Amino acid sequence: CSLFVAQPCISLSFNISCFLYRVGVDYITWYFRALDPLLCSEATWLERYRAADEESHTVTFELYLSMRDIANLTEHVKDETVRAELKIRNYHLWFSPMVANWISRAQSLCRQYIDKAIQIDKVIQVTDEATFSSSAVDTKGFLLQVGNFWKHLQWPRAAESYSYTAAIVQHICDCAVYYAGQVYTRVTNEDIYKDGQFHASEKLCIILNNMCHLQQALEGLSETLELEKYYQWLEEQDAQTENSSEKVAAIARSLISNLLKNADEDIGNKISLTVQNISEKVNLERFFQDMLRSDKDSVDEETVVPLLDYLTHNLQTLGDFLLPQVLYRVLANFWATCVHTIAACIPNIPKKPGNNYIPR
């Protein structure tokens, strides 16, 4: 009895193997005939666990997983009539009022974990190519845990399953966008910009890498959750459903794809805004103005060195710490800023004979 309480599926599997395949006694059919009414009567106890607290969510979800595993063993019942009459095969109906609370609680906890991860953030080397901070790695881990929750859920009815799946994907996307928004606010910190002038720093690069890291996590979410396999299961369920004008598989695919696309665009916009902020803070005009104010007839080392030093320092820092895909975007904006600044300075270039930096 204690073995059944602690590990019900192991106990049942052992009994099936022992009685049916070794002794030839159909133990499992009689077992479920006796167990089914007991479980149905005890299911009313679930009402006490519908309160919105963490312990209730944990208990009910663990009960759900146990009931699901036990219900799966009813496939060993040979008599199809008896198997169809077993109410435990509809175990999910006992838990359907609680699924929304599970998902809501997961989202609330995930945001709390994200806030805590940002508070205790520290730089870590994840790959040879780039550096992230611990908050990005932790946040990705939190989102993967939510994905594991979805994998364990395995809701048996397609009509409810796709809506629960969409809600979980929406939650993952919302948390990823929330993290991107939180780290984006740090871009304007005083230690990133000095005297209103942009100075590339490792911290700024890490913030950009972090957002890109979460964006990449969303791009791989379909593979992580094995959504294609899930869509195939929905298609099989659609094929078994008669007189259905709407195909659940098509609806689920479209809805989830849009959720992932919108979240990807939201994080991409945060990255673009950060890159744009960098461009706005890059003040090259003062370097060119110094050249224009020079009394010398040609640009020499003394007037060019400050500009070259500024560009070299910032571009080297960006190249050392940024992910390649982010670096290319920053460099494109950096170059556009340079061209725009030069174009704006052209009308102010003094037209003196022998001036070597007059455009021809």
Residues whose CB falls within 8 Å of the CB of residue 220, separated by 6 or more in sequence, listed in order: none
**Per CATH, domain 98-276 is 3.60.70.12:** no
| Bigger pLDDT: 82 vs 188 | 82
pLDDT digits (tens, 9 = 90+) for 21-79: 666 666 778 778 888 888 887 777 776 666 555 667 777 888 888 888 888 888 878 78
Q: How far is residue 95's CA from residue 154's CA, in Å, rounded to a whole number?
A: 13
Q: How far is residue 53's CA from residue 222's CA, in Å, rounded to a whole number?
A: 31
Domain ranges of the chain: 1-90, 98-276, 282-348
- Residue 2 has what pLDDT? 34
Q: How far is residue 225's CA from residue 230's CA, in Å, rounded to a whole number?
A: 8
Comparing CA positions, the residue from 137, 271, 150 lying closest to residue 217 is 137
pLDDT digits (tens, 9 = 90+) for 252-297: 999 999 999 999 999 999 998 888 877 777 777 777 777 766 665 5
